[in-house]
Amino acid sequence: MAGPKSPLQSSPSGPLSGVAVVPGDKSISHRALILGALAVGETRITGLLESDDVLATAAALRALGAQVRREDDGDWRIFGCGVGGLSEPSGVLDMGNSGTAVRLLMGVSATLSFNTTFCGDASLSKRPMERVMTPLRQMGAQFTARDGGRLPITVSGARAPIPITYALPVASAQVKTAILLAGLNTPGLTTVIEPEPTRDHSERMLGHFGAEVTVEDTADGGRRITLSGQPELTGHGVTVPGDFSSAAFPMVAALLAPRSRVTLTTVGINPLRTGLLETLLEMGASIGVENRRTLGGEAVADLVIESSSLKGITVPGARAPSMIDEYPVLAVAAAFADGETRLEGLAELRVKESDRLAAMARGLAQAGVDVTETEDSLTIRGGASKPRGGVHIEADLDHRIAMAFLVLGAATQQPISIDDAATMDSSFPGFAALMNGLGANIAPGNGA
């Protein structure tokens, strides 16, 4: 049974100012835990995102036999079992709301010779997993799932896994990573061909832990990633940078609030993750990228954001893989841009934590924004005046929808409330407190 909801209300704010540190990168946090559990020896992680999603991964790895614990100084220590060394869990692994966690761990379990059962919350249980199961079946795994390839799912791992070469029909870092993780415990070469580059945290971190991974560009603009199976991974230290997807929310809020200047420190700027930055700069945003450096193999920088007058543009669908999680807050920015902003190639948003395309179109229209939704696009027409606001938004158990409309409410004429803030802890614990520390006005709401 679901717990009580936690409504929040965001009221128009004054200028936003200050320096903030956003939580650690969620994608990197998941991968660091998993590879630490598959390595020999100790892995120490600094800056791990302690969100509900990542904690679900940590709990699942404990159930699979790895030693995973948080130290008093906030670092996490993992003593892994080696590739192929995890053991059959005694119960069902509850992945909460995390699609990343369940898809990556399905990859791990696909080449382990025992059964592993995954379940999740109401939102995760609606999300399709067939795109992960299809290549893993080719490697020898078997699955028992609800209709449509939905949770709960039992993975019967292959006893004699088969290496494959798999061309992804749709670019997906999660599916790519699931195949590569299955390939770790598979003899020979496992190859994934992606139609366009997606975030490459997995390839970088696999190399960091000692796997042999090659990445080649293809003639049609994609990438071919090949992993040599059955390596001995060695535990390593990992420092997790700030999550660009989380930084997107205070970034857009600072752009929209007059006379604002906000600095977000040590944010990951992996070039396959920063499509939103490219897009906002094209729209006229004032965002300085300062103190560029490398942290644990990942590019990081400090972002300095100042209030800006934005203009509408067309964002091509080819950019979607580099900003797939940022479209909800980009739609908020577009509501304040002069002219028409067209976001293309968004079909993937319909199978995220919610149908994000429909949720943003519906909520923006409620708030007085002129918006048109198609099957795979969103067109938003900004005007001379601020959107009206003054509405209550059902966030559909989706953390990014909830945070996007709280950002919107900080800049509309009247407050905006959301029905439930609890899901924000899946990616951005302390979101309201961080925003309020910069000058936002987010407070408990009445749920209506």
Q: Would you state the pLDDT for residue 383?
A: 79
Length of the chain: 448
- pLDDT, tens digit, 9 for 90 and up, residues 247-302: 999 999 999 999 999 999 999 999 999 999 999 999 999 999 999 999 878 999 99
pLDDT of res. 176: 98
Average pLDDT over residues 110-137: 95
Residue type, 424: M
**Section 68-78 average pLDDT:** 97
pLDDT in tens, 341-353: 999 999 988 878 7
CA distance 430 to 248: 15
| Mean pLDDT to the nearest integer, 411-427 | 94
Quote the pLDDT of residue 3: 57
Active site annotation includes 325: yes
Q: Which CATH superfamily is domain 26-239 in?
A: Enolpyruvate transferase domain (3.65.10.10)
Tell me phi and psi for residue 238, to 5 degrees.
-135, 130
**Where residue 42 falls among pLDDT bands split at 50, 70, 90?**
very high
In the structure, what pLDDT confidence band is assigned to residue 1 with cuts at 50, 70 and 90?
very low
CA distance 98 to 107: 15
Could you tell me which CATH class the domain 8-24+241-444 is placed in? alpha beta
**Cα separation values, 112 from 14, 63, 64, Å:** 55, 14, 11
Percentage of the chain modeled with pLDDT above 70: 98
The two structure tokens encoding residue 43: 């892995």
Q: What is the pLDDT of residue 37?
A: 98
Residues of each domain in the chain carrying CATH 3.65.10.10 = 8-24+241-444, 26-239
Question: What are the tokens at 144?
Answer: 């028992």
pLDDT of residue 296: 76
Sheet holding 261-268, edge to edge: 17-20, 261-268, 298-306, 286-295
Distance (Å, whole) CA 9 – CA 248: 20
Question: Taking Cα atoms as reference points, which of 338, 374, 381 lies closest to residue 357?
Answer: 374
Angle between helices 399-409 and 356-366 (to 10 degrees): 20
pLDDT tops 90 at residue 219: yes
In angstroms, what is the C-alpha Rg of the chain?
21
Query: How confident is the model at residue 447, as a pLDDT?
Result: 57
Under 8 Å CB-to-CB from 392, ≥6 apart: which residues? 416, 417, 418, 419, 445, 447, 448
b or e along 209-241 (b: 16 or more beta carbons within 10 Å of the residue's beta carbon)?
Answer: bebebeeeeeeeebbebbbbbebebbbbebbbb
Residue labelled with tokens 């995954």:
118
Class of residue 171 by CB neighbours under 10 A (exposed 0-12, middle 13-18, buried 19+): buried
pLDDT for residue 90 is more than 70 = yes
- The pLDDT score that the predictor gives to residue 30 is 98
Residue listed under structure tokens 């700027």: 269
Q: Among the options 325, 398, 419, 425, which is catalytic?
A: 325
User: What pLDDT is stored for residue 5 in this prediction?
Assistant: 80
- Averaged pLDDT, 368-391: 93
* Residue 4 vs residue 68, higher pLDDT: 68
Q: In this predicted model, which residue has the larger pLDDT, 297 or 242? A: 242
Main-chain phi, psi angles of 337, to 5 degrees: -85, 150
- Report yes or no: 27 and 201 within 8 Å, Cβ to Cβ: yes
